[in-house]
Every structure is written in structure tokens, then in C-alpha cells.
Amino acid sequence: MVENLNTRVEAARNQITQLNSSINTKLSEKKDSTMAKAASAAPYLAPIRAPPSVKARRVLKGHFGKITSLHWAGDSRSVVSASQDGNLLLWNAVTANKLQSITLKSSYVMAVGIEQSKGNLVACGGLDNLCTIYKVDSPANNHAPAEMASHDGFLSCCRFLSEDQILTSSGDSTCLRWSVSTGRVIDRFAEHKADAMYLALRPNDPHCFLSCSVDKTIKLWDTRSPQTSKQTFTGHEGDVNGVDFLPSDNNAFATCSEDGTVRLWDVRAYQEVTRFGSVKQNEDPLADTGGYTSIACSKSGRLIFCGHSDSSVLVYDVLSERTTPTFTINQAHDGHVSCLGIAPDGNALCTGSWDFVLKIWA
């Protein structure tokens, strides 16, 4: 019986090896060119604006603690920020004025998201393991926040699908789709093996989204079939901290990782298309060596913006042969750049930092 079992195990291993070889062959067949070669065939590529043309146009001061998260409203004029001072602030990014302040029950907030169609709902969460939703156009005493509890770990990201549905990711390794009106979980997405760190909604598609994780993978999900992910992308050698779709193409997305690389992926090719940076060799796995914290793609899809723990913002050109930044905003802040985001209209970049300040760049 033991010999029979060993034979079956060995046969299964051989089959796995053959399947992996077939998969790699199929993937290599799709690598017929590079982004730089494809771009060279274009008749004209617009020049890239860089510093000093790109500079801080507005400085948003009002927080008294480290800023942990930000999110643009759908009108590209308002932005909401979350800070360890225990407040959410809604800003007019054009005038730099505060529109509303919301005091939170817990100061350990790590994620914030604003509803995109009307901008009247804001969600947040953190180490309290809750997703709390506030109505931003009502006085605090007229509207009690809705608290939704189901996660067993910290809330790392939250994004509204509509006025009545929201997605959350958590340190319990799951992503959840909630009904805002009932406060109940609709679907559970549970395949990651470690903390789920960030979410990205597919442009112009209400059903598909990406999640990235400390388990070094990125998964593509469809809310119509939540039982299993549609695709799993592997290759990073460290925690994947951020993910964002290229707004110009629903099939491409970018990621940043603690392994020291920024990568561009394509859903159709089911693999990495371009890589920026180089993999860090870290002999001590417990050492905090810093690195990329957040990522956002320009509306055209050509530029990838990455926040860094060294207080800079690095910008990569998708169409370039360079693996180094096309330009860098050095000392963008006086501390760790914790979050950033591109306005939906593509005209501005907002960055948030542990120096308590947000900046609008254009």
C-alpha cells in the first residue's frame, strides 16, 4: 500500500512539473515584444512634464498626526484624508480649504474612501477592525455613523462600488463586499494567505477588482463569482503594498512592493510586462529597510507615481527602456510619504505624509 501511495505521489509531482512547463511555454509565447519596442513604432510621443514644471500647487494643513490614507472624490475637486490625530478631513483641493471635519471613535485609522458619484458618503477603518461610514453633508448630531463588523483583522483599504455597496480589505487576509443599507456582508473573497493590503477597482467595470497582499500575490476577482479568484499574479519577492489599474486600459495594472520593484502587468498576457527598479537583497527578513508605500497611475496610463518611505515620489515612464525613475520629486515631504492618488480627471496628484501635511502637485 505504501509503495502504491509513493508511486501516485511521484506521478502527481511529474504531472505538476509538466503542467508548469506547459504554462511557462504558453506565457513565453505571449512575450513577443517589450513596451519600449512597441512605443518606438508610435509616430509621436508627447514630452513628459517634470520638475520644475511639476511642483506643489497647494499645501493642505490641518492634521496633527501622521496621515495614513487619502482618496479623491469623483469631482476631482475634493479629497478626504485620514490621520492618526483621530480625524477625517474633507478638503477643497482647489482652494485648500477644509470643508468638513469628522472626529473618529478610534484614532488608529488606516484607510479612507469616498463614494464617487455624489461624494456624500465616507468610509474609514483601521485597527478597530470596523468599516465605519459617515454622511459628510449632514451635521454630526443628525446622522449616526454606520459601523459594519465582520473582519477579524485591521482594515487596510475601503472603496465604494456604489452608494449601497462597498469593498474592504483586511489584515485577516480577506476582502468583503458589504451592503451599506443593511450593514451585512454580501460576499467574502478569501484566497490570500496573509494580510490583504490594498484594493483597486477596474475602471468602467462594476464587477472586477484587484487585491494585493503580504503573501506577495495580486488577485483579480469578479463579484459575480466570489468563490474563487479569476487570476493570481506571482513574481514579487516581498510584500505587495499597492496596486492600481491604468485608467486608459482595463487590462493593465501596476504594483509596488517591498522587494524594491514596481511592475506593470497585463490581464490578457497573465504576466508581468515591465519591471522598474531592482530586487533588494535583504539578509535580515525582520529588518525594516523601507521602500515603496503607495502607487497611482496617470490618466493616460503612461506614468506610474510611487510614494516612498524616504520622503520622495518616484515617477516611471511605462514606455521607456529605463528601469530607473524618469524623474523624482525629492523631499516631496518632510517625512515618510504614506499615500498618494491621482485626481479622476488626471490633472493633479495628491500626496500625504507622516509630516501631517497633504500636498497637491500639478
| pLDDT, block means (10 residues), the chain with 362 residues | 79 84 75 74 84 95 98 97 97 97 94 96 97 82 79 98 97 98 96 98 95 98 96 96 94 96 95 93 64 96 97 96 95 97 97 98 97
Q: Which helix (H) or strand (E) holds 221?
A: strand 218-222
Measured over the CA atoms of residue 262, residue 264, residue 270 and residue 271, the dihedral's sign is: negative
Contact 157, 139 (CB under 8 A): no
CB 169, CB 211: distance < 8 Å: yes
Burial of 54 per CB tally in 10 Å (0-12, 13-18, 19+): middle
CA distance 151 to 131: 9
- The confidence score (pLDDT) of residue 23 equals 75
Q: Is the peptide bond before 344 cis (omega within 30 degrees of 0)?
A: no
Cα 149 from chain centre: 22
Q: What is the pTM of this model?
A: 0.92
Of 331, 278, 322, 289, the C-alpha closest to 303 is 322
Whether the CB-CB separation of 30 and 306 falls below 8 Å is answered with no
The three-class DSSP label of residue 280 is coil
Question: Cell 459601523 maps to which residue?
Answer: 147
pLDDT at residue 316 in the model: 97
Q: What is the pLDDT of residue 2?
A: 67
Three cell numbers, residue 343:
485626481
A 10 A CB-CB count for 89 gives: 22
The whole-angstrom separation of Cα 46 and Cα 60 is 31
Residues 58, 349: Cα–Cα separation, whole Å: 11
Which helix (H) or strand (E) is 125 found in, with range?
A: strand 121-126
Length of the chain: 362
Q: What is the pLDDT of residue 139?
A: 59
pLDDT of residue 319: 92
